[in-house]
Amino acid sequence: MGILNWGFRCSVKVHQKEDTITLKSAKGEIKFTEFAKELSLIDPNKKVWLNPLLFNGSLQTLYYTSWDHSKRFHVYYGREIFTYADGGICSLDWVIPKHDNFQELYLQTFLKGSPKLPPRTRFLSAEERTSLYSKTVETPIVVIIHGLAGGSHETITRNFAENLHKHCNGWDVVVINSRGCCRTILTTSSPFTAASTGDIRDVLKTFKKNWPHRPIYLNGFSYGASLVANFLGEEGDSGLVTAACGVSMPFDYIDSLYHIQSSLTGKYILSPAMAYFMTKIIFNNKKELVQHCDIVDEELLRKLKVIQNTYEFDDLFTCKIHSYPNAFDYYREWSPVRRILNIKTPFLMLNSTDDPAVSVRLPIRDVETNPYLLLVETDLGGHTGNVKMNGDFWCVEVAEQYFQKFYQFTA
């Protein structure tokens, strides 16, 4: 987007199929298109007022990635380790109330051999975990999938989790920290990939088995949004997820790769940063990876130290582990645009056309073909941005309102 598109009054466009699905409950029926009109935050007739100091997509994105947000969004987490069938693990960070004796509980529950946990995060005690899984409520569980190499500590995730905890009484909120992420030890040969949909499935099936009557709402940010889309496309009409949302999704990984390299912000700031966070997972888990993965040696580590973008990382590591000839073949196989036509879960997607990190050529024709999809397009906001004057994220408020309205209608 050029300088003529800079500003702070954000325009909203809503894309849906005209003949869309009907949402049904004991309260009646409503078309998904009519349901969308109930979401006051995405009214195309109104402007969204963003922070005027962050007047383009790059500044909006850099606010999210570079500002110090340590004094905001002080959500507290109780961590649980979830083990997959192949021996890999993720960590589930459940939102918990603040405790005055938090540090004492941190020390009492700390698992020997675990890395130091992020701020305001501790392990759940055995009693707390028993209490959690013995709940008989029928209120929703909101499951959050974080961004590339991110986790529950990410600013936008904390904003979303804090809002839900404050405004949605009785709901449970949990972040799935993928293999190797957010100080979760790697115990297999590879961290998460774009193909890690099975990891989401295993966790959600466990939830559904334990709480068969609780609706599961699934939300993904950035790379996490693409995992959500791929997962939903594979699930079809299984009914495992009741409603879903994705923010700043890279619909096409190849197109996104070219796009991020086309701007100064993308090429020289965002792309190297993303590569750094990916390589950090390898270096943080070097001891464990050497035991499970033949390709991890000093030569690989030397090469990883100097890469400047994610496709170099995927060429050197991901493709070697998962037998792809190159990164582009891997990206082509797992781009969400290949699966969104198969989605049969009500799915809200929010993307900005001044996003410097992912492709801004949105799959509008596909959205207008699949009656389960709702795409909200903004002309300002950057990548996981849409930052308002008070520093909160408008896209987080939209996701929260979407799930709240969904529950109000279907409960």
The pLDDT tens digits for 36-76 are 999 999 999 999 999 999 999 999 999 877 777 888 999 99
Residue 140 has pLDDT above 70, yes or no: yes
Closest-CA residue to 194 (of 327, 385, 88, 325): 327
Question: What pLDDT score was predicted for residue 68?
Answer: 76
Q: Which two tokens stand for residue 7?
A: 């500003």
Separation CA 315–CA 338 (nearest Å)? 21
Enter the pTM of the model: 0.96
The pLDDT tens digits for 318-371 are 999 999 999 999 999 999 999 999 999 999 999 999 999 999 999 999 999 999
Confidence of residue 5 (pLDDT cuts 50, 70, 90): low
383 included as an active-site residue: yes
Question: What pLDDT score was predicted for residue 20?
Answer: 93
With b for 16 or more beta-carbon neighbours within 10 A and e for fewer, the 124-135 pattern comes to: beeebeeebeee
DSSP letters, 49-77, are E--TTS-SHHHHHHHHHHS--TTS---EE
226 included as an active-site residue: no
Q: Which two tokens stand for residue 267?
A: 């090429």
Mean per-residue pLDDT of the chain? 95
Pair 251, 47: CB distance under 8 Å: no
Side chain identity, residue 62: L
Which distant-in-sequence residues (6+ apart) come within 8 Å of 408 by Cβ? none
Separation CA 41–CA 160 (nearest Å)? 15
Give the number of other Cβ atoms within 10 Å of residue 262's Cβ.
10
Question: What pLDDT score was predicted for residue 2?
Answer: 52
Separation CA 351–CA 367 (nearest Å)? 13
Q: Which residues pair with 141 in a beta bridge?
A: 172, 216
Q: Which two tokens stand for residue 84?
A: 């997959």
Separation CA 371–CA 346 (nearest Å)? 8
196 included as an active-site residue: no
Pair 388, 51: CB distance under 8 Å: yes
What is the rounded average pLDDT of the residues 302-320? Answer: 96
Q: Which residues pair with 352 in a beta bridge?
A: 378
Candidate from 133-147, 158-172, 182-196 with smallest mean pLDDT = 182-196
Please pick, among 222, 226, 256, 335, the residue that the annotation labels catalytic: 222
Domain boundaries, the chain: 6-410
Separation CA 409–CA 6 (nearest Å)? 38
Question: What pLDDT score was predicted for residue 25?
Answer: 85
Residue 216 has pLDDT above 80, yes or no: yes
Question: What pLDDT score was predicted for residue 104?
Answer: 96
For 119, the 3-state DSSP assignment is coil
Please pick, among 93, 355, 379, 392, the residue that the annotation labels catalytic: 355
Q: Which two tokens stand for residue 341?
A: 């036509």
Question: What pLDDT score was predicted for residue 64?
Answer: 76
Q: Degrees (nearest 5) of the Cα angle 18, 21, 27?
A: 125
Q: Distance of alpha carbon 29 from its chain centroid, rounded?
A: 30
Pair 223, 192: CB distance under 8 Å: no
Separation CA 144–CA 162 (nearest Å)? 12
Closest-CA residue to 109 (of 118, 93, 121): 121
Confidence of residue 3 (pLDDT cuts 50, 70, 90): low
DSSP letters, 189-224, are S----TTTHHHHHHHHHHHHHH-TTS-EEEEEETHH
Side chain identity, residue 25: S
Class for the domain spanning 6-410:
alpha beta
Separation CA 152–CA 12 (nearest Å)? 28
Closest-CA residue to 381 (of 355, 359, 399, 405): 355
Residue 270 has pLDDT above 60, yes or no: yes
Please pick, among 15, 146, 165, 383, the residue that the annotation labels catalytic: 383
